[in-house]
Amino acid sequence: MENLSLIDTFAEFKELKNIDRPTMMSVLEDVFRNMLIKMHGSDDNYDIIINIDKGDFEIWRNREVVEDGAVEDPNRQISLSAAKKMESDYEIGEEVTDEVKLIDFGRRAILSLRQNLTSRILELEKNNTFNKYKDRIGEVVTGEVYQVWKKEILILDDEGNELIIPKIEQIPTDYFRKGDSIRSVVIRVEMRNNSPLIVLSRTSPIFLERLFELEVPEIFDGLITIKKIVRMPGERAKVAVESYDERIDPVGACVGMKGSRIHGIVRELRNENIDVINYTTNTQLFITRALSPARISSIKLDEAEKRAEVYLKPNEVSLAIGKGGFNIKLASQLTGYEIDVYRETDTQDEEDVTLDEFVDEIEGWVIDTLKGIGCDTAKSVIDIPFKELVKRTDLEEETVKEVIRILKSEFE
């Protein structure tokens, strides 16, 4: 049959998901009618019958019977003698309907028809994918890693749609190979060069929020509300939660028995440390909880400037600041206050000396490293055990020994 070359295209079209039958029929008929218009200038005297299930179609042409020799438009008129060859009782003025075979249009027209049909199908697929994911922004999706590039990862979902995770949206410690299963959240959907661009993220706070919803039924059911999430992807996160039911401990529910609920989330986020804290409208209490595990002695607030002066015992300063300063940065983001940490002074500390006094004996970058872990005085460094100091500063042991020797000599 002359339409065999189109059956594969029909089958391809039929396999599309979420495309309703009327749309399928309309697109196919539109392609055929465009071909007729290009060939004859009009298609109003043609009837097109499409059978999507069989991948078949019929084209019928309607023409008026006129006297022999009076045919002006062969596409719309047929001579009486030609009409009688089809059926002997035709008369002038009647309408003749006959089937037009696709092969009659010529090889070039058939090829053009197939190309146009394929183009429309691809366009429908792209629009379908765009509309599907446009309504899924903020949802967690699971896909398979298809290709890993330097700047992004190409993911295929269960329907073969292409999704992208840019490098900036990957957790720094993420490592995936082709074929790996990966979970992430849809953050952006747009059309670029007439193709849908679906961007996923594993670093977005929304991803962490969705993981909590999946792991903690009370959050999914609305019994516990996540008020705010801040993250340093792969390093640390702080989650403020609140429950309107006094019988429910929001922190306990999120962590689970022996950490059973939160462990799954931590593994998914490449061992990212997650602090879950009770939300409160009491600013001082909220800041105190946000700086956990450090224990705060007192807080002075400047509501106008949105600043908080936090005073701690010397051995608590490094805990408040945290590794790389992550703890205090996240606490500031969570509470909305710029937090300044100060060491409590007492009579024993009156003889203490700031590290800046040792610039002639200790290199400036070493002093900056010590300040980075919350040590700004000589005694604050001496009070930290040697191995702990090496671990926190990541300095050479010999360097730490020399620093301690210099600082201790000040008090001898």
Residues with pLDDT less than 50, the chain: 1-2, 4-5, 17, 347-349
Counted residue by residue, the chain has a size of 412
> Residue 383 in contact with residue 315, Cβ under 8 Å?
yes
What is the per-residue pLDDT for 9? Answer: 54
Q: Which DSSP string do the residues of 283-346 spell out, in sequence order?
A: HHHHHHHHTTTSPEEEEEEETTTTEEEEEE-HHHHHHHH-GGGHHHHHHHHHHTSEEEEEE---
Residues 148-164 pLDDT 10s? 999 999 999 988 899 99
pLDDT for 348: 46
Domain 225-279, architecture per CATH? 2-Layer Sandwich (3.30)
Class of 347-409 per CATH?
mainly alpha
Are 156 and 162 in contact by the 8 Å Cβ rule? The answer is yes
Q: What is the pLDDT of residue 125?
A: 81
Give, in words, the CATH class of 140-201.
Answer: mainly beta
What is the model's pLDDT at position 54?
Answer: 61
CA distances 118 to 11, 31, 69, 129, 298, Å, are 11, 10, 42, 17, 71
What pLDDT was estimated at residue 1? Answer: 40
What b/e sequence results for 362-377 when a residue is b if at least 16 CB atoms lie within 10 Å of its CB, and e otherwise?
beeebbebbbbbbbbb
Model-level pTM greater than 0.85? no
In sequence order, what are the residues at sequence separation of 6 or more whose Cβ sits closer than 8 angstroms to the Cβ of residue 318?
Answer: 373, 374, 375, 384, 392
Instruction: Tell me how far apart the terminal alpha carbons of the chain are, to the nearest angstrom.
Output: 105
Predicted pLDDT at 271: 92
What confidence score (pLDDT) does residue 349 get? 47
Identify which of 345, 335, 346, 275 has the alpha carbon closest to the alpha carbon of residue 308: 335
Cα–Cα distance list, 267 to 164, 204, 260, 261, 382 (Å): 22, 16, 11, 11, 37
Integer CA distances (angstroms), 411 to 353, 367, 387, in order: 9, 18, 22
What pLDDT score does 31 carry? 80
Q: How far apart are CA 190 and CA 6, in angstroms?
A: 32
The answer to whether 219 touches 212, Cβ cutoff 8 Å, is yes
Spatial contact of 317 and 374, defined as CB atoms under 8 Å apart: yes
Token pair listed for 117: 């049909």
pLDDT digits (tens, 9 = 90+) for 216-246: 999 999 999 999 999 999 999 999 999 988 8
Residue 316 CB partners (closer than 8 Å, separation 6+): 294, 295, 296
User: What pLDDT is attached to residue 13?
Assistant: 56
Whole-angstrom Cα distance, residue 398 to residue 74?
A: 101
Neighbours of 236 (CB within 10 A): 19
Rounded CA Rg of the chain? 37
* Torsion 224-229-231-233 (CA) sign: positive
> Residue 66: what pLDDT?
87
Architecture of the domain spanning 4-131: 2-Layer Sandwich (3.30)
Structural domain boundaries of the chain?
Answer: 4-131, 140-201, 225-279, 347-409
3-state secondary structure of 164: strand
Reported as type and span, the H/E element at residue 143 is strand 140-148
Please name the helix (run of DSSP H) or strand (run of DSSP E) that holds residue 220, with its range, or none: helix 217-220
Cα–Cα distances (Å) from 256 to 231, 252, 261, 265, in that order, read 21, 6, 5, 12
Find residue 181's DSSP bridge partners. 144
Q: Which residue type sits at 63?
A: R
pLDDT at 266: 94
65's enclosing H/E stretch is: strand 56-66
